[in-house]
Structure 1
């Protein structure tokens, strides 16, 4: 796609469907067949759906950080650090896998849950840092009403969750025109969570991903029809917008490890 000044820009693309070996289904933003690359510093991003009879038994990770953000239901987390915690709608968790950690994820209360999970690469000189865990309740994440949107900061200014990578992670519920800008030199993406609308005039819906380069501003707006921008559950047009400072290092993912 081309802007009015003739420069090329990416438009929204559909996420890919992934079925994990444990039976958990996900809509993955990247890497997929349509977006095969990582987005330095980000390794992968997906929306997961865990049914009551599925989940992730105890398994290992190392070399990156995980941010999980719950959209619906509860997810029980246990790890080799001795942490046991249940995250519910609007709650977030950050795991620094560093030199190695083991954890499990299962739906809570015998009910299905779904949420978003982001993997963030650790820079080469921090790959072996001590594993760590932190969580934040929904009430701890700053939420502000801006022009055209209500925005929750999952990671970034005011959030209690900190990573080894400079980044921001915003959850925007959009009622009117709202603009997001990726800082110069950073890499970012937006992911449709609910409803439908436009990103710089291009249609974007749930499960779509929009790659955004540093310095670009994107104007989001709900569909003109007040009902067409809502999903089957009546949800508002909602996108998450994530951006971070690249490490300019190769991302070498080997299953649950990022080397």
Structure 2
């Protein structure tokens, strides 16, 4: 996939439907045919839907980090480090695949589940770090609330989970207006999870406002400078992610990022 920016005037892009070889369906924000670029340092982002009779048997990964965040239901994780863990609604897991790890993901309790998965590239000098795993219950993830918004920090200040790359990952439930700022020279994106709202992007003093609905993504690219995202709806749930680019090519080969 290309790492070239798609242009500063790009509005919301609908997620692409992906059917994995194991019959798991996903709505992928990027990379897709409509959004072919990776977003350095991000390799991919998708919402997965695992039915009771499907899942991901033990399979390998290397060269990046995985953040899984559960929206509904429960998911059982096992890996080659000897970890066995069940993630429930609002829980998060972080896997540093490093030089190599194998893991499996299946729905728990005979019921379907769905959640979000983010792949973050490891910088070239850390590709072979030891594989590692950590998780956090929903109660461990800090949430701040005002009259207009409740924001849970999945990755970032106050979260017990961290990455080798500076990243902020926020889950916002907006019932009014909320402003999110992407740090200077970082790459960011907003992904609609539930409901409908608007996302505004301020680049070099030039503002764009877009209607956004579930399954759509809006980019905030590093070479366009920083930006503010304003979301207005009642209610609107939106995921906002930003990270410091590595400035290195992202070479994805299936489950590996070289």
Deviation at 1:37, TM superposition (A): 0.6
Counterpart of 2:204 in structure 1 is none
Q: Greater CA deviation, 206-215 or 17-26?
A: 206-215
Structure with greater proportional strand content: 2
**Alignment map for 1:236-247 (pairs within 5 Å):** 236-247=235-246
**8 A contact 1:147–1:177 mirrored in 2:** no
Specify every segment of 5 or more residues in structure 1 that has no aligned partner in the other structure, as ranges.
1-6, 223-228, 230-235
Instruction: Find out whether 1:215 has 2:214 as its counterpart.
Output: no
Give the Cα–Cα distance (whole angstroms) in 2 for the partners of residues 105 and 128 of structure 1.
23
1:32 aligned counterpart, secondary structure: coil
Deviation at 1:239, TM superposition (A): 0.2
Q: Deviations over 1:121-171 (max 9, x none)?
A: 000000000000000000000000146210000000000001000010000
Give the Cα–Cα distance (whole angstroms) in 2 for the partners of residues 28 and 45 of structure 1.
6
Give the Cα–Cα distance (whole angstroms) in 2 for the partners of residues 25 and 243 of structure 1.
25
1:36 aligned counterpart, secondary structure: coil
**8 A contact 1:10–1:212 mirrored in 2:** no
Deviation at 1:202, TM superposition (A): 1.5
Deviation at 1:26, TM superposition (A): 0.1
**8 A contact 1:62–1:98 mirrored in 2:** yes
Give the Cα–Cα distance (whole angstroms) in 2 for the partners of residues 150 and 180 of structure 1.
13
Instruction: Find out whether 1:89 has 2:89 as its counterpart.
Output: yes
Give the Cα–Cα distance (whole angstroms) in 2 for the partners of residues 147 and 123 of structure 1.
40
Deviation at 1:10, TM superposition (A): 2.8
Counterpart of 2:253 in structure 1 is 254
Give the Cα–Cα distance (whole angstroms) in 1 for the partners of residues 53 and 73 of structure 2.
14
Give the Cα–Cα distance (whole angstroms) in 1 for the partners of residues 143 and 136 of structure 2.
13
Give the Cα–Cα distance (whole angstroms) in 1 for the partners of residues 153 and 186 of structure 2.
18
Instruction: Find out whether 1:167 has 2:167 as its counterpart.
Output: yes
Counterpart of 1:4 in structure 2 is none
Counterpart of 1:225 in structure 2 is none
Give the Cα–Cα distance (whole angstroms) in 2 for the partners of residues 184 and 81 of structure 1.
37
TM-score normalised by the chain length of structure 1: 0.91
1:110 aligned counterpart, secondary structure: coil
Counterpart of 1:206 in structure 2 is 214
TM-score normalised by the chain length of structure 2: 0.91
2:125 aligned counterpart, secondary structure: helix
Specify every segment of 5 or more residues in structure 2 that has no aligned partner in the other structure, as ranges.
1-6, 201-208
Give the Cα–Cα distance (whole angstroms) in 2 for the partners of residues 8 and 135 of structure 1.
36
Deviation at 1:9, TM superposition (A): 3.5
User: Hey, which bits of structure 1, 4+ residues long, moved more than 2 A?
Assistant: 7-10
2:90 aligned counterpart, secondary structure: coil
Instruction: Find out whether 1:46 has 2:29 as its counterpart.
Output: no
| RMSD across aligned positions (CA) | 1.1
